[in-house]
């Protein structure tokens, strides 16, 4: 009887969740206009691009007064962490080290900063959004500015050149073997502009992207009485079920409506929907 009541309660709640639109977030309107990456396509000309490691952390945007996430929410860092930072914006990644995304996310999400946890973070700066020059010019200015701060937790992201796709893939393999997530390519002649373009490219061993949770689909069989799959919506407006990759704990307490999740996939169908999509994690730094 108890199990039956639990299943009926779940079904009623799941039906309600599918009928209610995902909540809007007040941070949306205040989200910084960030440069976003496209996916590298083998065969693209690499001349003119700088290459760096792709740090698996929380995107951090210093607007000259406050540290904010990609979604515009204020990051409550300790006062010492941002002391003497410049009035000009800095774009970077709040990073706890390779394989430590969860640590970076939990540290930056706290309303009351944990001083000891913040001492494990670094702000890896990769751009100066308000600088009017090309990335080639911004890179020199960035390195000079970061060096002047003399704060070991603030670092300029190391950049290098590669000439061929073979060299790029070899560097990618070494980075991944060492626990890194992937690589980034930044066009040296480009100016900072918001949105996605080939000025910034991500290079990884697998495809991944993000979608917003818009519904909870009840499970069947061994998952009866708990989550079977998430109904997620891509930025294009297309929706699909995402059930693979969820843990038992995530099925018992699903990501809330309106939250953003990262998923991996292998190519796309002709419709544009992902093939073999698999849940990775919730992104708390998205609006």
Q: Is 204 a catalytic residue?
A: no
Phi, psi of 10 (to 5 degrees): -60, -45
- Residue 143 to residue 242: CA distance in whole angstroms: 42
| Active-site entry in 54, 202, 222, 241 | 54
Strand, helix or coil for residue 139 = helix
What is the DSSP secondary-structure string of 160-227?
B---SHHHHHHHHHHHHHTT--EEEEEETTPPP-SEEEEEEEEE-SSEEEEEEEEEEEEB-GGGBTSE
The residues near 56 (Cβ < 8 Å, ≥ 6 apart) are: 95, 98, 99, 100, 101, 104, 180, 181
Task: Give the neighbor-by-neighbor strand order of the sheet with 90-95.
Answer: 67-68, 58-62, 90-95, 122-127, 154-156
Catalytic (active-site) positions:
54
């Amino acid at each position: 009887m108890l199990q039956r009541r639990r299943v009926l309660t779940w079904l009623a709640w799941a039906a309600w969740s599918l009928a209610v639109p995902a909540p809007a977030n007040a941070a949306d309107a205040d989200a910084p206009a960030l440069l976003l990456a496209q996916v590298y396509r083998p065969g693209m000309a690499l001349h003119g691009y700088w290459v760096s490691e792709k740090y698996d952390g929380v995107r951090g945007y210093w607007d000259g007064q406050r540290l904010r996430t990609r979604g515009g929410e204020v990051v409550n860092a300790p006062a010492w962490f941002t002391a003497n930072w410049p009035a000009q914006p800095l774009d970077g990644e709040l990073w706890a080290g390779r394989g430590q995304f969860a640590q970076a996310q939990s540290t930056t999400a706290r309303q009351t900063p944990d001083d000891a946890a913040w001492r494990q973070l670094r702000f890896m700066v990769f751009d100066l959004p308000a600088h009017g020059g090309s990335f080639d010019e911004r890179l020199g200015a960035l390195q000079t500015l970061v060096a002047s701060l003399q704060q070991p937790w603030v670092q300029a992201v190391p950049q290098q050149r590669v000439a061929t796709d073979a060299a790029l893939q070899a560097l990618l393999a070494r980075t991944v073997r060492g626990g890194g997530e992937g690589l980034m390519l930044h066009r040296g002649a480009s100016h900072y502009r918001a949105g996605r373009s080939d000025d910034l490219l991500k290079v990884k061993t697998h495809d991944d992207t993000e979608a917003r949770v818009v519904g909870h689909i009840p499970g069947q069989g061994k998952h009866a009485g708990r989550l079977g799959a998430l109904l997620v919506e891509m930025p294009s407006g297309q929706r699909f079920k995402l059930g693979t990759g969820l843990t038992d704990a995530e099925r018992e307490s699903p990501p809330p409506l309106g939250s953003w999740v990262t998923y991996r996939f292998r190519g796309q169908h002709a419709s544009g929907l992902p093939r073999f999509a698999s849940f990775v994690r919730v992104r708390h730094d998205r609006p």
